[in-house]
Amino acid sequence: MPEMPLGAMPGLANTAVLGFVGHRQTRLSQNRNVLQDQLETVLRAIQTHSPSIVLTSGAADGSDLLAGAAARHLGMPWHAITLDDNEIQAARDTGATRIEALNETAATSPNAPFVALQSRILDSADLILALWDGQPSRGAGGTADTVAQAGRRKLPVLWLASQSNQARLQYGALDHWTGVNIDTD
């Protein structure tokens, strides 16, 4: 894998919106404090190159709330996109600077709300940060599906492996990625 510093990523200095995706609490294997520290390390590195960046994510229990808390700890604005009243309250409690409630229902399919959330994040993002275990999605709109969709859209993806302390900056489709490892210790 080619070595490339995070700041050398094309367009990072102009990044306005960092889209975040990740697993719910049930799929996270590491301690929440460790993951939040790793997220803060990666967000701080991104913020160094793009000080006016805004984090946009869902507000589900697990990775979303960890990323939101890390962003707020660093003084980074967090735009939380919520799917239900519990997420609205969780986003408020975590310090979201903006809350947007999606009004998607599961009428068309059980995954419709997650696909709508995925589309909203991908449509607004300049860069995607994924806290992901590298395993396949359990359905449309899941973390792996969102990473794949970002690759198809040619959005750069920064992958923070939820099973280790490494972040990899990825470009392009999953099977053609190049990037750099970032130690988050």
pLDDT given at position 27: 59
Confidence band for 6, pLDDT divided at 50, 70 and 90: low
Q: Average pLDDT, whole number, for the chain?
A: 78
Question: What pLDDT, in 10s, does the model give residues 141-166?
Answer: 888 899 889 988 888 888 887 666 55
Please name each of the domains of the chain with its CATH number. 16-119+157-167 (3.40.50.450)
> Taking residues 17-30, what's their average pLDDT?
76
Q: Evaluate if residue 29 carries a pLDDT over 70.
A: no
Q: Evaluate if residue 137 carries a pLDDT over 50.
A: yes
Please give the Cα distance from 56 to 40 (Å, whole number).
Answer: 15
Which pair of structure tokens corresponds to residue 130? 């994924």
Question: What pLDDT, in 10s, does the model give residues 105-122?
Answer: 555 677 888 889 999 999
Angle subtended at Cα 96 by Cα 90 and Cα 101, rounded to the nearest 5 degrees: 70
Confidence band for 12, pLDDT divided at 50, 70 and 90: low
Q: What is the pTM of this model?
A: 0.82
pLDDT given at position 177: 40
> Taking residues 24-32, what's their average pLDDT?
64
Contact residues for 118 (Cβ-Cβ < 8 A; gap 6+): 21, 140, 141, 145, 146, 149
- The DSSP letter of residue 113 is H
